[in-house]
């Protein structure tokens, strides 16, 4: 009877007479039915019971609907209108309103599917500005999310891995041997990082998060990125390390072929949150997210649909998870050059190609200087912020962060002018003492090119103008021991030259 009731409710929501519209769009996900009509969207939970969700009765689905409206009201209050109930009258006819509960639905304001980030990604409409806005929005959301001290950080992630094991057990797409192998690797990395995870939980990094933070659950509302459709049905899934929450978006971008955006989002997010200690966990977290997608899609295969396409999709996520669990040798590439040499542009293009996904952490002098003064990267600072003693603090911070990350196993691109000998020696000597391989690169360009680039620059974190450039040129010189690269080439050529095997420059240490 319950299954038939949901079938009848689906027919009710798909009926043009229910909405007074001939144009009704029906979208199915693995746990929902969504109906779009006029300016409204109605979301109904599917009657399923899986290892991670129980929607088996109308009453459970009603509570989940109420919770969905409440939780999503934090990030998307203008989208969520409330819960509607489909009821049965005495004559047995279904309607919205009072009566015998048949099915609850979440009522939302309908927005153009054109505004969904996954649609924008497919159509090539995502850009650096939008992704920067999204990263900062997510950072603010995480900073305001409730801290939860329910278990240790390692136990929290261990519980996610347990859900994955149960999820894989429900599908026939992957054989027992490969599931056992990847499961063992997950457990090994969990053990290796247990103390780091536990420390992050103790410091308040485990919070009630979104839980399902991928491209399809972000949209543009009024020109601003907006999160919606968070996990409301399982607190265990949503109560996670904030970087594990972010990792879903990073994995989604990487899987769809947007490594540069994944790297950009990671770097802008970490700039906002000052959470570099967890950076080395991101490949592991992304692997878990890929495994989640793999077993969720694999479960769909047993439910019908295009089995070949679903199996291929599940397999692609599984292979991504496997590749993310492979250790990658960390690298520290130091990029110096006068203002206008293109250091930041090159660093941005290079970072996604270094280390394990989502690529290298960019430690940039301009952003550090702004952070030291408590302002955003786009705010212009006066000359007082560029005193030698302030610059000394900036370069010391560059070295400290770079070595901390590489020591932990992550890759770094350090981006600063490095025109003063003492600053170059600082990172060289420190790298040697830490036993790290430092790959210093100097971007060289004609003075007229530098002047033209600096004078035409209107956006970005750099405050350098022609007077600043003149001071650099009068007192600086090309480092004799650094590898010099022509900065007047195309960015792609510069990156290829930096990465060219056998040309990594002097090895400090």
187-197 pLDDT, tens digit per residue, is: 999 999 999 99
Comma-separated ranges of CATH 3.40.50.300 domains in the chain = 332-499
Strand, helix or coil for residue 331? coil
Residue 86's nearest CA partner among 69, 98, 74, 75 is: 98
**Average pLDDT of every residue of the chain:** 91
Looking at residue 304, what is its pLDDT?
Answer: 63
52: pLDDT strictly greater than 80: no
Token pair for 296: 């969720």
117-324 placed in CATH 3.10.20.600? no
Least confident range from 29-33, 101-105, 198-202, 407-411: namely 29-33
Residues 6+ apart with CB under 8 A from 147: 204, 206, 207
d(CA 351, CA 359) in angstroms, rounded, equals: 6
Looking at residue 163, what is its pLDDT?
Answer: 87
Strand, helix or coil for residue 442? strand
Looking at residue 309, what is its pLDDT?
Answer: 85
Instruction: Average the pLDDT over 170-190 and give the result.
Output: 92
Question: Please, which pLDDT band fits residue 507 given cuts at 50, 70 and 90?
Answer: very low
Comma-separated ranges of CATH 3.90.1200.10 domains in the chain = 117-324
Looking at residue 502, what is its pLDDT?
Answer: 53
d(CA 99, CA 12) in angstroms, rounded, equals: 15
* Cα distance between the two ends of the chain: 72
H/E run at residue 200? helix 194-202
Looking at residue 506, what is its pLDDT?
Answer: 36
504: pLDDT strictly greater than 60: no
Looking at residue 460, what is its pLDDT?
Answer: 80
Percent of the chain residues topping a pLDDT of 90: 71
Q: Which CATH architecture has domain 332-499?
A: 3-Layer(aba) Sandwich (3.40)
Kindly write down the DSSP assignment for every residue of 410-472, as one continuous string.
Answer: --EEEE----SHHHHHHHHHHHHHHT--EEEEEEE--HHHHHHHHHT--SSS----HHHHHHH
Q: Is 313 within 8 Å of 295 (Cβ atoms)? A: no
Question: Please, which pLDDT band fits residue 43 given cuts at 50, 70 and 90?
Answer: very high
Looking at residue 330, what is its pLDDT?
Answer: 92
Looking at residue 34, what is its pLDDT?
Answer: 94
1: pLDDT strictly greater than 70: no
Least confident range from 164-168, 240-244, 270-274: namely 164-168
Task: Give pLDDT tens digits for 345-376.
Answer: 999 999 999 999 999 999 999 999 999 999 98
């Amino acid at each position: 009877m319950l299954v038939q009731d949901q079938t009848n409710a689906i027919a009710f929501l798909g009926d043009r007479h229910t909405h007074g519209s001939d144009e009704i769009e029906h979208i199915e996900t693995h746990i929902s039915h969504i109906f779009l009509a006029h300016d409204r969207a109605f979301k109904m939970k599917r009657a399923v019971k899986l290892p991670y969700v129980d929607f088996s009765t109308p009453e459970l689905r009603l509570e989940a609907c109420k919770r969905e409206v409440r939780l999503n009201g934090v990030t998307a209050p203008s989208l969520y209108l409330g819960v509607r109930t489909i009821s049965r009258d005495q004559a047995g006819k279904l309607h919205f309103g009072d009566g015998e509960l048949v099915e609850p639905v979440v009522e939302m304001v309908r927005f153009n599917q054109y505004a969904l980030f996954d649609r924008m990604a497919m159509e090539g409409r995502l850009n650096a500005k939008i992704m920067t806005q999204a990263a900062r929005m997510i950072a603010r959301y995480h900073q305001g999310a409730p801290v939860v001290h329910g278990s240790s950080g390692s136990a929290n992630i261990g519980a996610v891995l347990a859900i994955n094991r149960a999820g894989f057990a429900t599908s026939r797409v992957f054989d027992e041997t490969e599931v056992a192998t990847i499961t063992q690797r997950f457990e090994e990395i969990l053990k290796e990082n247990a103390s780091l995870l536990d420390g992050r939980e103790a410091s308040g990094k485990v919070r009630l998060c979104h839980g399902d933070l991928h491209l399809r659950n972000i949209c543009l509302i009024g020109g601003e990125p907006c999160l919606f459709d968070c996990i409301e049905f399982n607190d265990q899934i949503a109560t996670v390390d904030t970087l594990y929450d972010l990792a879903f978006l990073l994995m989604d971008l990487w899987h769809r072929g947007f490594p540069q955006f994944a790297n950009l989002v990671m770097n802008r997010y970490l700039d906002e949150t000052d959470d570099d200690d967890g950076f080395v966990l991101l490949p592991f977290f992304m692997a878990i997210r890929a495994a989640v997608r793999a077993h969720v899609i694999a479960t769909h295969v047993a439910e019908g649909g295009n089995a070949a396409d679903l199996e291929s999709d599940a397999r692609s996520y599984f292979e991504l998870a496997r590749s993310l669990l492979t250790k990658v040798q960390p690298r520290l590439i130091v990029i110096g050059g006068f203002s206008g040499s293109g250091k930041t542009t090159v660093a941005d293009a290079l970072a996604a190609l270094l280390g394990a996904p989502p690529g290298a952490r960019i430690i940039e002098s301009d952003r550090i200087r702004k952070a030291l003064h408590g302002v955003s990267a786009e705010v212009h600072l006066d000359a007082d912020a560029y005193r030698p003693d302030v610059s000394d603090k900036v370069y010391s911070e560059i070295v400290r962060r770079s070595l901390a990350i590489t020591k932990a196993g992550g890759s770094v691109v350090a981006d600063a002018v490095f025109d003063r000998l003492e600053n170059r020696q600082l990172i060289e000597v420190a790298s040697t003492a830490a036993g790290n391989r430092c790959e210093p690169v100097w971007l060289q360009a004609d003075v007229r090119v530098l002047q033209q680039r600096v004078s035409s620059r209107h956006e970005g974190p750099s405050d350098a103008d022609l007077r600043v450039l003149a001071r650099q040129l009068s007192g600086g010189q090309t480092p004799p021991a650094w590898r010099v690269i022509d900065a007047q080439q195309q960015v792609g050529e510069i990156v290829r030259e930096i990465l060219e095997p056998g040309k990594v420059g002097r090895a400090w240490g």
